[in-house]
Amino acid sequence: MICRFCKTELFNVFIDLINSPPSNSFLTENELNKPEIYYPLKIYICHNCFLVQIDEYKQSDEIFNEKYAYFSSYSSSWLIHSKNYVNMAIQKFQLNKKSFVIEIASNDGYLLQYFKERGIPCLGIEPASNVAATAKEKGLNIIEEFFGADLARILVAEGKIPDLLIGNNVLAHVPNLNDFIQGLKILLHHKGAITLEFPHLLKLIEKNQFDTIYHEHYSYFSFFTVNNIFKFHGLEIFDVEKLPTHGGSLRIYVKQAEDKSKVILQSVENLINLEIAKKINNIDYYKGLQSKANDIKYDLINFLITQKKKDNLVIAYGAAAKGNTLLNYCGIKKDLIKFIVDISPKKHNKFLPGSHIPILHEDEIKIFKPKYILILAWNIKEEIMKQLNYVREWDCKFIIPIPKVMIV
Ligand SMILES: [Zn+2]
């Protein structure tokens, strides 16, 4: 495999999760009778630029098609996060009715709806047609395309040049990273700003978040590496914030390298220094996640088998992509987890890929009264435990799998 940024040949394995079907390929009852395709889930680390990455086993148009089931708007905490961002961005970048905002991977319009509410012209770019359709129902303008240098040139030719260009949780999903960032460079107004949010690799390593690895996530970024990648493409990070979302993310603020109207804030140097102090630019830093992931795997299976032998019912909550990585790496099937509950009605009566655990409505919890609920969407565990607080009536407990198996 060749590094998708610097083209160095890769041979250092970061973690090997063996294999898994694509994480968002939920199955219908009919599809349970068909063969299922498993792809290798092996992650490499580049010893030259320290980009952590997966080989592109699966063509992205196979993943982001009409079956793509992730709708951003089903998480209430994510909506609050998005609304706060919009208020902040309008103030920080002094956006008004004459400004223009573009969001790449605009999903179901979870974020752009708040710009629209404030009367700021905006455009979404979203290749997955089912989520794009939901955004259009909200009255948003959406282009159904993958973003890259070609689309950026078309938008520029049409005069659609953004003052603010947003990409939340899209950078990791891009197979052709260099083409995507080149597209950002081409599209951005010479005095404009880009903000991107992505999970922080430091958190993945330090909090054992190996389940955030799946085929749709091609790259995993430290600030050190992302800063070098943007520099290479003639863009410059001028601010960075740490966010609690997705188990610990970064929000970077990027400008054209030629734009001298913005100062580079101290936050940039501070975070690079912190990462270098942790030896992020040394291959040894990246070793050790495999054995921690294995510890979680063995502890979780052990716990579930013990409950099974006691006839205690265990279910799970949150049919997110990360849940599929965890369940498939641990080899957990529906004999150990009876069903999974999810808030999204679009997932109900479907089945998880690989494990074939059925996805049901939350009402089933009250009917079956499980002894334990495994929280797969641990990044919003507080929100979930509050919502399910009524299960305490029959002394049900929660299992939190990450950063280590805990019963609460
Ligand atoms: Zn590299």
Instruction: Give the separation between CA 116 and CA 120, rounded to whole angstroms.
Output: 6
Strand partners, 53: 44, 219
Residue 31 lies in a domain: no
Distances (CA, A) of 218 to 37, 68, 168: 18, 17, 15
Q: How far is the CA of 231 from the centre of ligand 1 (A)?
A: 14
Sign of the C-alpha dihedral computed for residues 367, 379, 86 and 219 taken in this order:
negative
220 shares a domain with 115:
yes
Q: How far is the CA of 252 from the centre of ligand 1 (A)?
A: 20
296 shares a domain with 272:
no
310 shares a domain with 236:
no
pTM of the predicted protein model: 0.92
Q: How far is the CA of 286 from the centre of ligand 1 (A)?
A: 14
Q: How far is the CA of 213 from the centre of ligand 1 (A)?
A: 18
Residue 243 lies in a domain: yes
Last residue of a domain, one of 235, 258, 278: 278
Which CATH number goes with the domain that contains 345?
3.40.50.720
Last residue of a domain, one of 245, 278, 311: 278
For residue 238, give the 3-state DSSP assignment: strand
pLDDT in tens, 196-241: 999 999 999 999 999 999 988 999 999 999 999 999 999 999 999 9
Q: How far is the CA of 10 from the centre of ligand 1 (A)?
A: 8
Instruction: Give the separation between CA 378 and CA 370, rounded to whole angstroms.
Output: 18
3-state secondary structure 64-84: CCCCCCCCHHHCHHHHHHHHH
Judging by beta carbons within 10 Å of its beta carbon (0-12, 13-18, 19+), is residue 301 exposed, middle or buried?
Answer: middle
249 shares a domain with 306:
no
Mean residue pLDDT across the chain: 94
Q: How far is the CA of 49 from the centre of ligand 1 (A)?
A: 4
Strand partners, 392: none
Q: How far is the CA of 344 from the centre of ligand 1 (A)?
A: 38
225 shares a domain with 78:
yes
pLDDT in tens, 313-342: 999 999 988 899 999 999 999 999 999 999
236 shares a domain with 355:
no
Which CATH number goes with the domain that contains 179?
3.40.50.150
For the chain, the domain total comes to: 2
223 shares a domain with 311:
no
Residue showing tokens 């079907």: 21
141 shares a domain with 116:
yes
pLDDT in tens, 343-357: 889 899 999 999 999
pLDDT in tens, 272-321: 999 999 999 999 999 999 999 999 999 999 999 999 999 999 999 999 88
Per the structure, the complete domain to which residue 308 belongs is given by: 289-407
